[in-house]
Amino acid sequence: MKLIKNNLSEKLIINKYFKKLNLKKRGTFNFENDGAYLDLNNKNYKLTVTTDSISEDIDFLSNDDPTSIAQKITTVNLSDIFAMGALPHSYLLNLHLPNHINENWLNSFSHRLKKIQSKYGFYLLGGDLSKSNKLIVSSTFFGFIKKKLEIYQNKFNLNDDILITGNIGESKIGLEILKKKLLSNTNLKQYFIKKYLYPRPCKLGPLIAHHVNSMKDISDGLIGDLTDMLNDKYGALINVNKIPLSVKTKKILNIKKNYRIENLINAGDDYGLIIISNQKNRNKILSIANKNNIRISCIGKIINEKGIHFDSYLDIKNIKKFDHFC
Amino acid sequence: MKLIKNNLSEKLIINKYFKKLNLKKRGTFNFENDGAYLDLNNKNYKLTVTTDSISEDIDFLSNDDPTSIAQKITTVNLSDIFAMGALPHSYLLNLHLPNHINENWLNSFSHRLKKIQSKYGFYLLGGDLSKSNKLIVSSTFFGFIKKKLEIYQNKFNLNDDILITGNIGESKIGLEILKKKLLSNTNLKQYFIKKYLYPRPCKLGPLIAHHVNSMKDISDGLIGDLTDMLNDKYGALINVNKIPLSVKTKKILNIKKNYRIENLINAGDDYGLIIISNQKNRNKILSIANKNNIRISCIGKIINEKGIHFDSYLDIKNIKKFDHFC
């Protein structure tokens, strides 16, 4: 039996905290094999795969609540699955655990995973545990998409709509409040901190997949991710007034005069979707979003002139791009 | 563009060193999407999945050659794929890179991956880069197995043969030479160090899959892995003289009188296979192994008495089990 210094064995961790997440699916071998299998058994679907990691001191702080870390690792991956127009199916977890991780931590972490699994309908297929001096959580997610569906992040046409879901910048405001770079009253404070600690993926992707040309989740900021999507052929014209901000964010912008929309359009961890689609599909997409109570905004269109352009002046030259890798 | 301190951008790393590994397969989107897909398109096969990580100071040293790290991360995963009776198809890489990783390192690492890919026939499906203070490499491997094949690691019967492939303990001797716990002459030294730095997976698994009851790769040592396989119902009787040792290992045991087989049967990182199969299939399995130039040895059988028993005295009570997690 494998022991780590605080007397938690690998077997105990797996049996007590993670076996409940495999939902007794046959292909998991109840975590008693080194591998697992996926029996797709459906000729109309193919399997999507995405993998993402989050690390202590980069994507979260060491004393962040384990429920927040569980929420983040699933959201970063689920939002990629949804952006591909897929539905989540199962996932693998690679946990690199420092010595201070104890049973309370594992209990909260796995309990939150179970809750998220139930919400979106997927299960834990397997994983790997190792020791580390910093906490790193990697995950690989599997999803299903219709056989013929293939959503590139950079294939679209002139005059296509640019739409985004959700609100921009709330997670960034939460992080700046936590870092004490931004002060606020107690109510607003709790609201924004929750947005940062518990980001949600946008499940609209698979519902509109047949009506879009490209989709991507906003993980590195609206401008950063839109720049990634724009190929060498086209640019984007953004209608600044249409960039969606919550009432509470507008309140912050009103109170803090040196804090402006420029600070928010390149903030990371929004996890809404950027959707690029033919104008003729606009009403269909808006209506599906509305039926599902998902805020959606048409913020601009694809133009000939390369780069990102705004219909009113924004002082963006001094904005540093959000960067997970820096 | 994302920059790390030594001026290597994420895009440069992907474009220059990793794009060549995707073999332009359609489902990889040439690494321009956040996700990928696998189009299985074969109703006779299912998809196997396994994931494993290796970490600096646990599985390798920070100044180990990048070609050795590439060999290790592929071998730990490929040997799981082969143990499931599957053939490798593709893989994902999660790289957690410290600042000292430079272009020379990436060049050697990716070049070795390319070589291993060509040897076994698989491609890079995608991955994820992040910064870290220690080097950690995680990988998820996909393989194909026949739809009806399902090899549990712990399902077998009384009197079944226990066979293993390859030689035992060479990697351990290499590590002890590197750590200067064991001294040897130059020729033997280089031989064993290479065994430790460049372990090879055993490809026999899929060739004999229909004739076995259980299979597992030897990653945590012969005794450790066999103990994992034995369920509560049965035990194993091992014929000590049949445990396969190379001529060079026997030389070491002859020279170093305080160094005995007990030091080797629980050494990690052998990466041969433990095979448990009905006696009536023995000749078939041995003949397939011989045809493929793979050393195979029948070292014992499944007995009623629980635990691992030896047909001659071994002083194993003081042997510490090899442990990746400690």
- CATH number, domain containing residue B291: 3.90.650.10
List C-alpha distances in Å: A78 to A87, A197, A206, B34, B111: 9, 16, 12, 11, 32
Count the helices and strands in chain A (H runs, E runs): 9, 11
Domain that holds residue A285: 161-310
Domain assignment of residue B45, yes or no: yes
Domain assignment of residue A291, yes or no: yes
Question: Domain check: are B191 and B167 in the same one?
Answer: yes
Question: Domain check: are B141 and B165 in the same one?
Answer: no
Question: Domain check: are B90 and B174 in the same one?
Answer: no
Tell which residue, B300, B175, B305, has the closest CA to residue B241: B300
Question: Domain check: are B123 and B189 in the same one?
Answer: no
Residue of B nearest to A59 (CA): B130
Integer-rounded Cα radius of gyration of chain A: 21
Question: Domain check: are A110 and A67 in the same one?
Answer: yes
pLDDT of residue B3: 40
Among B146, B170, B191, the domain-final residue is B146
- CATH number, domain containing residue A138: 3.30.1330.10
Tell which residue, B296, B285, B299, has the closest CA to residue B165: B296
Query: For residue range A137-178, what is the model confidence (pLDDT) as tens digits?
Result: 999 999 999 988 999 999 999 999 999 999 999 999 999 999
A151 vs B contacts (CB less than 8 Å): 33
Domain assignment of residue A152, yes or no: no
**A3 at interface of B, judged by CB pairs closer than 8 A:** yes
Instruction: Output the pTM of the full model.
Output: 0.92
Domain assignment of residue B24, yes or no: yes
Domain assignment of residue B151, yes or no: no
Cβ atoms of A55 and A132 closer than 8 Å: no
Domain assignment of residue A156, yes or no: no
Question: Domain check: are B67 and B171 in the same one?
Answer: no
Q: How confident is chain B (326 residues) per 10-residue block, as mean pLDDT?
A: 55 92 91 86 86 93 94 97 96 94 96 98 95 94 92 95 97 92 83 96 97 95 93 90 95 87 87 97 98 98 95 71 50
Instruction: Inspect the interface and report whether the beta carbons of A150 and B32 lie closer than 8 Å.
Output: no
Question: Domain check: are B190 and B300 in the same one?
Answer: yes
Q: What is the pLDDT along chain A (326 residues), one digit of tens a residue?
A: 344 445 578 888 999 999 999 999 989 999 988 899 887 767 788 899 999 999 999 899 888 999 999 999 999 999 999 999 999 999 999 999 999 999 999 999 999 999 999 999 999 999 999 999 999 999 999 999 998 899 999 999 999 999 999 999 999 999 999 988 887 787 889 999 999 999 999 999 999 999 999 999 999 899 999 999 997 789 999 999 999 999 999 999 998 888 889 889 988 789 999 999 999 999 999 999 999 999 999 999 999 999 999 998 777 665 555 545 54
Domain assignment of residue A275, yes or no: yes
Question: Domain check: are A187 and A300 in the same one?
Answer: yes
Question: Domain check: are A172 and A306 in the same one?
Answer: yes
The two structure tokens encoding residue A309 = 């352009």
Quote the number of domains for chain B: 2
Among B94, B118, B146, the domain-final residue is B146
Question: Domain check: are A166 and A298 in the same one?
Answer: yes
Question: Domain check: are B195 and B261 in the same one?
Answer: yes
Query: For residue range A227-267, what is the model confidence (pLDDT) as tens digits?
Result: 999 977 899 999 999 999 999 999 999 988 888 898 899 88
Cβ atoms of A252 and A173 closer than 8 Å: yes
Instruction: Inspect the interface and report whether the beta carbons of B96 and A145 lie closer than 8 Å.
Output: no
Q: How many alpha carbons fall within 13 Å on the CB side of residue B207?
A: 15
Question: Domain check: are B95 and B182 in the same one?
Answer: no
B81 vs A contacts (CB less than 8 Å): 35
Among B111, B146, B181, the domain-final residue is B146
Instruction: Inspect the interface and report whether the beta carbons of A33 and B323 lie closer than 8 Å.
Output: no
Nearest-angstrom CA–CA distance, A295 and B185: 72
Residue of B nearest to A5 (CA): B326
Domain assignment of residue A271, yes or no: yes
Top residue of A18, A48, A51, A82 to mutate, by most chain B CBs within 10 Å, is A51
